[in-house]
Chains A and B, each alone.
Chain A
Amino acid sequence: MTDSQSNYDVIVVGAGHNGLICASYLARAGRKVLVVEVNSAPGGAAATREFSKGFSVSACAHWLYQLNPKVLKNLALESHGLEFVARDLDTIALAKDGNHIVLSSDSIEGESLTDSDKLAYQRFNQQMLKFSKLLASAFERRAPKLLDRNFTDLATLAKLGFGMKMLGREDMRDFIRLVLINIYDVMEENFDNELLKAAISIDGVLGSHMGPRSPNTVFGYLYRRLGDVYGYKGPAVIKGGMGALGEAIAASAQSSGVELRTDAAVAKINLDVNKVTGVTLVGGEVIDADLVVSNADPKTTFEKLIGFRNIETGVARRVSNIRSRGNAAKLHLALKRLPDFTGLSDAQKGQRLIIAPTMNYIELAFNAAKYGEYSEQPALDISIASLHDDSLVPAGSQVLSAIVQYAPHDLKQGWEVAKEPFKNLVIDCIAQYAPGIKELIVSSELLTPQDLASEFHMTGGHWHHGELSVDQVMMMRPFPGASQYGTSVEGLYLCGAGAHPGGGVMGLAGRNAATEIIKRGDAA
């Protein structure tokens, strides 16, 4: 056991994108920052994985659609190796008969669509963007505390209130009416086409333990549409997979003076009663610092790294009550060549493909998850990134990646026995839209939420480090009383997706946390 000198101002636990972003801003403000990461590569869930010889794929998140442009610019990510190989992709809702619907940022096309659906989509789209813009206004700063009468917080609340007022009477009424209800009802209100309704509603439930009829799914949808506010007119693909984003952020951080140590697992965050003193690595090395910023999810941070017995009961209770049931699995297929999809041109195969014929299909898929079972007919979000980036695969080959819902983290029969049958079931599901795909498979893997949990150290395998729902956002994220990135433990901050404003590869949690730490100055 060695004790290194206390020459770091801040230790960031976890080199996920938020951890690295937070570290960068802190280093730029003159702090000496060390980032410790358990995995070998930086980026956290923005990772690229070679799952079969020569075949690489984005291991968790596979689209980039809401990375905050300020973060992109401040960190000069594009000069640190970030390269967009595709932007503003369409979303295509697949139909078995090939009658697909193509959703662009402001219009929809498809033979099955009526003019009234097309008109309704434009209206709906405009309104949702207004609402997402309103959310965005509150997301670029710390979440306000309600009782402290702090000027900054009051200003944030006033801005949110004013923003709501400025929506105009009709839209404000709609916002208040819609934000807490379910996307199913909203779809029924607006559209006739079942495939269209399903394709929109899936954005309200991806990554969550919710079905289209669950409350909070409109909020989930608006959250996803933040990307449009940030200038994304659809998902983007990064050269080298999402891991390349992790590398670029890491490179930017290091150029700002951040020290990065990979393959360094933090065993615990050290405390002097209730004050942070540094971290102890697995293996016993102690690194001192007065500030520790955790990029790990709140449950991992408080339960594993701090220990519930070292915090007060109320905090332990709130942390253990955070809802973070992961329900999304990842399927990766190494393919000999580009598969045929009924009715899809080759160019269309590079867009975002959705398998979810109706909202009831998604809801039925979710039913299984409620009872600890996987969906017999899962909903899928498919990316064939190799169409945009041939560096991911051997020449002529392709790689397909699919987000699979629903696959509960705590599967009743256990994933050891269920993993293989479920993988085959998902492949069968895709084969209904891409006949002949099975013959092209060189190798395949399924990452269950348990795999994602152990690979990326996310409790429950939940992408967002905790459900994104109205009861767990703003001042209630990650839990009431621990908002504004600080915690009940002196010197401990949270900067991950578990903190405001939440998950997705957005980067604001990391940026806001750094802003708050800098603002608190020496007191922090």
Chain B
Amino acid sequence: MRPHDETMLLQTPFHARIAKACELNQWDEWKGYTTPHAYTEVEQEYFAIRNSSGVFDLTPMMKYRITGPDAEAFLNRLLTRDIRKVKVGRVAYAVWCDDGGQVMDDGTVFHLGRNDYRLCAYSRMMDWMQWSAMGFDVTIVDETAAVAALAIQGPTSCAILKAMGFEGIESLKPFGIRTFAFDGVILMVSRTGFTGDLGYELWIEPDKAESLWDKLFAAGKNFGIKPIGGAALELARIEAGFLQAGTDFVPAEETVRMGRSRSPFELGLGWLVSFDKPIFNGRRALLEEKKNGSRYRFVYLDVEGNKPAEHSFILKGNKVVGTVTSAAWCPTAKSNIAFAQVEARYGKPGEKLIAEVYYQRELQWSRVLAKCTVIESTVFNPPRRRQTPAADY
């Protein structure tokens, strides 16, 4: 890691390669790192994810290594889901709450070995984890900068990894982990991602990052491999129906105003809450909420027309009943999707609502009242996402 007085934003170990490929020179900031917004053209990159393979540098994702005799017990108190059910070699999506049952963040837990876990998160949360570690025999290390990570997502991703020589990768199940020898070190591969497609995430020590990048792109040459930036990933994740912390909810500890945080139930993540396990953060409040009802309901909306309903008010009749947090015209699903939070008594599947969409054409603002329908899940969910052994395309 560079001292902060030399550079305001840090660079990932892939930066030299990324900078060369980033023809548009468009950059975003992600938790203190420089990260590409788009390399060439957002739609091309998006279609690489859906039709061939896109490669995304996810090194800036916060990565915490949790080890020690109480690692499992520690995580089980920290997270709302029952971590005891996640076997070694498996990955699980999870959220964690404060005492008030409000979501602090979401992320993935990698069960690397007995009482050895990696927790990937959007937020920096070392302080919260240290507080949470009181009474547990665990060691928590921030390994964000010590682990370089690339996601390769898309139908040809398995074929590319096979071409790299990772034998048997096709038999890796979704949310599974496997390790391979690579350039003298161990490369960890997990069948995970943020696109809702067939895809993998590759985890390696920073020294080998450029070598991994080079060999991956060499192997993918004939499989339509393409580096992708944050913009294309954003489109893919909305199409897949994945929440983005900081966008679809405000991490509880970052909220300033009362009532601006959300519970797992209010984000449609009730399936991540297990009351059949020992105490966990938020348990009492969530039980109470389950009994008394939630304030909000998270819904997917299929919006009429093709204008993305970004930041729209959601109306029932003339009354504002909610707002949109993420929205996009999704090219593969060919739907205009919006994520919205509405008052809990609205938003049952099939309910018709109205999105008040504002858009601008040549400095002229227009408004449409787009009809929308509450749908149970987003429409992009191809069989190849789960198919094992993964197919070649």
Q: Is the CB of B135 within 8 A of A303?
A: yes
Binding-face segment, B38-46, B275-283, B331-339: B275-283
Q: How many residues of B contact A (CB 8 A)?
A: 21
Q: Is the CB of A488 within 8 A of B284?
A: yes
Q: Is the CB of B99 within 8 A of A315?
A: yes
For A466-495 the 0/1 string (1 means CB < 8 A from B) is 000000000000000100000010100000
State the CA gap A413–B280 with chains docked (Å).
40
State the CA gap A309–B137 with chains docked (Å).
10
Q: Is the CB of A308 within 8 A of B134?
A: yes
Least CB distance from A79 to B in Å reads 44
For A294-316 the 0/1 string (1 means CB < 8 A from B) is 00000000010001111111111
Least CB distance from A143 to B in Å reads 19
Contact of A309 among B77, B99, B284 (CB under 8 A): B77
Contact of B134 among A274, A320, A481 (CB under 8 A): A320
Contact of A481 among B99, B128, B131, B135 (CB under 8 A): B99
Q: Is the CB of B279 within 8 A of A273?
A: yes
Chain B residues 85 to 113 lying within 8 A of chain A, measured CB to CB, are 98-100
Q: Is the CB of B131 within 8 A of A309?
A: no
Contacts of A481 in B (CB 8 A): 99
Q: Is the CB of B278 within 8 A of A313?
A: no
State the CA gap A320–B278 with chains docked (Å).
22
Chain A residue with minimal CB distance to B74?
Answer: A309
Q: Is the interface of A mostly helix, strand, loop or mixed?
A: helix
Q: Is the CB of A312 within 8 A of B284?
A: yes
Contacts of A307 in B (CB 8 A): 135
State the CA gap A308–B281 with chains docked (Å).
12
Q: Is the CB of A313 within 8 A of B99?
A: yes
Contacts of B131 in A (CB 8 A): 313, 316-317, 320
Q: Is B359 an interface residue (CB 8 A)?
A: no
Contacts of B281 in A (CB 8 A): 312-314
Chain B residue with minimal CB distance to A319?
Answer: B134
For A265-284 the 0/1 string (1 means CB < 8 A from B) is 00000010110000000000
Contact of A488 among B74, B99, B280 (CB under 8 A): B99
State the CA gap A310–B284 with chains docked (Å).
12
Q: Is the CB of B134 within 8 A of A312?
A: no
Q: How many residues of A contact B (CB 8 A)?
A: 19
Q: Is the CB of A273 within 8 A of B128?
A: no
State the CA gap A488–B99 with chains docked (Å).
9
Q: Is the CB of B132 within 8 A of A274?
A: no
Chain A residues 106 to 142 lying within 8 A of chain B, measured CB to CB, are none
State the CA gap A488–B283 with chains docked (Å).
10
Contact of A313 among B73, B78, B284 (CB under 8 A): B78
Least CB distance from B76 to A in Å reads 10
Contacts of A271 in B (CB 8 A): 279
Contacts of A317 in B (CB 8 A): 131, 134
Known contacts A315-B99, A488-B99; decide if A308 and B135 are in contact (CB<8 Å): yes
Q: Is B136 an interface residue (CB 8 A)?
A: yes
For A16-56 the 0/1 string (1 means CB < 8 A from B) is 00000000000000000000000000000000000000000
Least CB distance from B83 to A in Å reads 14
Q: Is the CB of B132 within 8 A of A313?
A: yes
Contacts of A303 in B (CB 8 A): 134-135
Least CB distance from B258 to A in Å reads 9
Q: Is the CB of A312 within 8 A of B283?
A: yes
Contacts of A274 in B (CB 8 A): 279, 283-284
Q: Is the CB of A314 within 8 A of B98?
A: yes
Q: Is the CB of B279 within 8 A of A311?
A: yes
State the CA gap A170–B284 with chains docked (Å).
47
Chain A residue with minimal CB distance to B135?
Answer: A308
State the CA gap A72–B78 with chains docked (Å).
46
Least CB distance from A172 to B in Å reads 30
For B106-144 the 0/1 string (1 means CB < 8 A from A) is 000000000000000000000010011011100000000
Chain B residue with minimal CB distance to A488?
Answer: B284
Contact of A314 among B73, B74, B99, B135 (CB under 8 A): B99
Chain A residues 302 to 343 lying within 8 A of chain B, measured CB to CB, are 303, 307-317, 320
Least CB distance from A273 to B in Å reads 6
Least CB distance from A482 to B in Å reads 11
Least CB distance from A1 to B in Å reads 22
Contacts of A273 in B (CB 8 A): 278-279, 283
State the CA gap A490–B288 with chains docked (Å).
13
Least CB distance from A315 to B in Å reads 6
State the CA gap A273–B78 with chains docked (Å).
15
Known contacts A274-B284, A481-B99; decide if A313 and B128 are in contact (CB<8 Å): yes
Chain A residue with minimal CB distance to B136?
Answer: A309
Known contacts A303-B135, A317-B131, A488-B99; decide if A309 and B283 are in contact (CB<8 Å): no
Contacts of B132 in A (CB 8 A): 313, 316
Contacts of B282 in A (CB 8 A): 312
Chain A residues 347 to 404 lying within 8 A of chain B, measured CB to CB, are none
Contacts of A311 in B (CB 8 A): 279
Chain B residues 200 to 228 lying within 8 A of chain A, measured CB to CB, are none
Q: Tell which of A271, A309, A310 has the most Cβ of chain B within 10 Å.
A: A309
For A48-80 the 0/1 string (1 means CB < 8 A from B) is 000000000000000000000000000000000
State the CA gap A274–B281 with chains docked (Å).
11
State the CA gap A317–B98 with chains docked (Å).
11
Least CB distance from A494 to B in Å reads 17
Contacts of B98 in A (CB 8 A): 313-314
Known contacts A274-B284, A488-B99, A488-B284; decide if A312 and B135 are in contact (CB<8 Å): no
Least CB distance from A291 to B in Å reads 17
State the CA gap A46–B278 with chains docked (Å).
39
Known contacts A273-B279, A303-B135, A307-B135; decide if A312 and B99 are in contact (CB<8 Å): yes
Q: Is the CB of A312 within 8 A of B128?
A: no
Chain A residue with minimal CB distance to B99?
Answer: A314
Contacts of A313 in B (CB 8 A): 77-78, 98-99, 128, 131-132, 281
Chain B residue with minimal CB distance to A316?
Answer: B134
Least CB distance from A475 to B in Å reads 16
Least CB distance from A363 to B in Å reads 34
Chain B residue with minimal CB distance to A317?
Answer: B131
State the CA gap A310–B70 with chains docked (Å).
13
Q: A274-B283, A303-B134, A303-B135 are in contact. List 16 more A-B contacts (CB 8 A).
A: A274-B279, A274-B284, A307-B135, A309-B73, A309-B135, A309-B136, A310-B279, A312-B99, A312-B279, A312-B280, A313-B128, A313-B131, A313-B281, A316-B131, A316-B132, A317-B131
List A residues at the B interface (Cβ < 8 Å): 271, 273-274, 303, 307-317, 320, 481, 488, 490
Give me 17 A-to-B residue pairs in the complex whose CB atoms sit less than 8 angstroms apart, sorted by A's number.
A273-B278, A273-B279, A274-B284, A303-B134, A310-B135, A312-B99, A312-B281, A312-B283, A313-B98, A313-B132, A313-B281, A314-B99, A315-B99, A316-B132, A316-B134, A320-B134, A488-B284
Closest A-B pairs by Cβ, 3 of them: A308-B135, A314-B99, A309-B135
List B residues at the A interface (Cβ < 8 Å): 70, 73-74, 77-78, 98-100, 128, 131-132, 134-136, 278-284
